[in-house]
Amino acid sequence: MVFNTPTIFASVALVALVMAFCLILVGQEHRRDGMRAGGLGLLAHAFAYCCFTLYGHEAAWLTYGVGNTLLSLALACYSASLLRIHGQPVPWRQIFALPVLMAVALMALIDTREPRMFAACLVLILQCLAIMNWTWRHARNGGRAHLLLLLGGGISLVGLMLRVAAIASGAAAELPYDVSNLRQTVSVSIGTVTVMMFSLGLVLMAKERTEAALRDMALRDALTGIANRRAIIEACEREIERSRRAGTALTVALFDIDHFKRINDSHGHLAGDAVLRQAAGLLRQRLRQSDEVGRYGGEEFLVLLPDTGREGALTVIDGLRSAVAAQPAAFGGLALPYRFSVGLWCGVPAPGDNSDSLIAHADAALYAVKAAGRDGVSVAPDRCGQLAPASG
């Protein structure tokens, strides 16, 4: 089925204009989420297709040169929007160098046919490949919005390659913007799909990023930046189940900063906050990638050491306590020393074990350390009821 080419151009322009209005309106409230850049891209896309509708009635520099330059500008804006959505720095010069290259090349070749068509296709192909590359590199785990962008970029490449094939085969005369035939209908209709794919993909990608940020906020302790109580308990449940299935040892460690109230009373709560941040950062820095650490409450931290038995856990804990002793927290020009008391549960979780029961065992061991004078380590009794001695 063959459609009137200028009508297709006008339809694409209308769709792009409506989507541009929506994205720019949304982007006004959150100017750093990439929506405004995407909206400006759609606006450029709409004006480009408005230029194409005038082909054969106005000068070629306007209908072809300006039109394709605007189309290249639209793809540059989509690229900037994509990177901003993912919080990446935007290489503005590199991105907008291609629209400038398009403008210069088309003005130099405006009186030709095949060379200017080839130049326009080449620049647009490079931009589509860049968008697809950035989309793939920054695809979010579990997200699907990137599939729309990849599909939109792929469809655009198909349309551009059809035009390149036509130019190479000497059929460029069949592709002026005021000619209607099957090849032209297929090639130009792809523009409508591209607009829809790119606009929806960017919107959904921004939505996925916002949802991921909210999930992260819900699972992060605002002061220290590590997992909060809910998140670390969920991690504990996962590790218990994994250790139970694999039959491997797990260590659940409860850290408590000794005499933390004294720090707050002597230096103020801001000093206490500095100690908590420094302690959390040190724990995260010294632990393995597979280990988990979270703020369990107040001045307590919960640490999970997968595949780690009693001896290995004591070695790790001793190293952490030595590091804490060597690195006092800094606050207002002061060095604030602090120490940890640590209670451990070590072993292979039994069928009836869960996070509550194992943390309770670690807490009981922690209480034993405090009763013995603090600044030490104690391991919870094993299954046979054998008490593990506390160490200073």
Residue 327 CA to residue 283 CA, distance in Å, equals 12
According to the model, what pLDDT value does residue 388 have?
A: 47
5-219 and 229-379: same fold? no
**pLDDT exceeds 80 at position 4:** no
According to the model, what pLDDT value does residue 162 have?
A: 83
User: Looking at domain 5-219, does it have CATH number 1.20.81?
Assistant: no
What's the average model confidence in pLDDT over 98-104? 96
**pLDDT exceeds 90 at position 255:** yes
Segment of 83-87, 149-153, 185-189, 342-346 carrying the highest mean pLDDT: 342-346
CB 280, CB 293: distance < 8 Å: yes
According to the model, what pLDDT value does residue 384 have?
A: 43
According to the model, what pLDDT value does residue 387 have?
A: 43
Residue 217 CA to residue 228 CA, distance in Å, equals 9
25 closest CA partner among 40, 13, 15, 11: 40
What's the Cα-to-Cα distance from 293 to each of 157, 230, 259, rounded to whole Å? 46, 12, 21
Question: How does residue 389 score in pLDDT terms, banded at 50, 70 and 90?
Answer: very low
Map out the domains of the chain as residue ranges: 5-219, 229-379
According to the model, what pLDDT value does residue 298 have?
A: 92
According to the model, what pLDDT value does residue 60 have?
A: 92
According to the model, what pLDDT value does residue 139 have?
A: 78
According to the model, what pLDDT value does residue 391 have?
A: 47
Least confident of 215-219, 343-347, 377-381: 215-219
Question: How does residue 229 score in pLDDT terms, banded at 50, 70 and 90?
Answer: very high
**pLDDT tens per residue across span 118-135:** 999 999 999 999 999 988
Alpha helices in the chain (DSSP H): 5-27, 35-53, 60, 67-85, 92-109, 114-137, 145-168, 182-219, 229-246, 260-267, 269-286, 310-326, 355-371
Least confident of 111-115, 160-164, 313-317, 374-378: 160-164
According to the model, what pLDDT value does residue 148 have?
A: 87
The class that CATH gives domain 229-379 is alpha beta
pTM (two decimals): 0.67
Least confident of 2-16, 22-36, 249-263, 321-335: 22-36
